[in-house]
Amino acid sequence: MNKVVLIGRLTKDPELRFTPGSGAAVTTLTLAIDKYNTKTGQREADFVPVVVWGKQAESTANYMSKGSQVAISGRIQTRNYDAKDGTKRYVTEVVADQFGGVEFLGTKGSNNSSGNSFSNSNEYSAPTNDAFGGGNFEEDITPVDDGDMPF
C-alpha cells in the first residue's frame, strides 16, 4: 500500500500552473515537516515536495501562502526525466489525493486547527510543534502506559 499523511508548513507560496493541452490545474509546493534529532537534542525539518491536481490545486494556490500549516494525504511517486544538460534526473514527491488530500489547518503564527478544507474528510488536530515555531518538544510528549494497549 502506498499511502502517506503529512502535516507541516509551506516553505514558500504554492505555484499554480496549467498543463499544456488539457489545461489541468497543478500546484507544486514544499512542506517543512518537523522531526526531532535524538543525537543532538534539536528540532530539525524534512522538506518534502508535494503535487496537487485539479480544483484542490487552485484552492491551495489561492488560499495558502508561505508559513501556512497544511495536512496532506496522498501517495509517494517517483519519476525521472532528462535535464537540459543531458543528465537523467530522479524525483520523489508526494501526490495529494484527488478528493480530500489537502486540509488547510492555519496560517503562520496561529495554532488554528479548525480543519478548513475543500473535502468531506475528518478534521485534523494540528500539532503545535512545527518547523516555524510552536511548543517545546518535551512538553508535547504524553507518556503511554503499555498496560493500556489492547495488543
Q: Kindly state the average pLDDT of the residues 37-41.
A: 89
For the chain, what are the domain ranges?
4-125
User: pLDDT at residue 102 above 60?
Assistant: yes
pLDDT single digits (tens) 105-134: 987 665 544 444 443 333 333 344 444 444
Find out if CATH 2.40.50.140 is the number for domain 4-125: yes
% the chain with pLDDT above 90 = 62
How many other CB atoms are found less than 10 A from the CB of residue 148?
6
pLDDT for position 110? 56
Least confident window among 24-28, 74-78, 141-145: 141-145
60 vs 98, more confident: 60
DSSP string over 74-132 = EEEEEEEEE-TTS-EEEEEEEEE-TTT-EEEEE-TT------EESSSSPPP---SEETT
- Residue 35: what are its φ and ψ, rounded to 5°? -150, 155
The pTM is what? 0.68
d(CA 44, CA 12): 18
Poorest-confidence range of 26-40, 59-73, 75-89, 117-131? 117-131
More confident residue, 113 or 55: 55
- The pLDDT, as a whole number, for residue 43 is 92
- Our measurement of the distance from residue 106's CA atom to the centroid of its chain's CA atoms, rounded to an integer in Å, reads 13
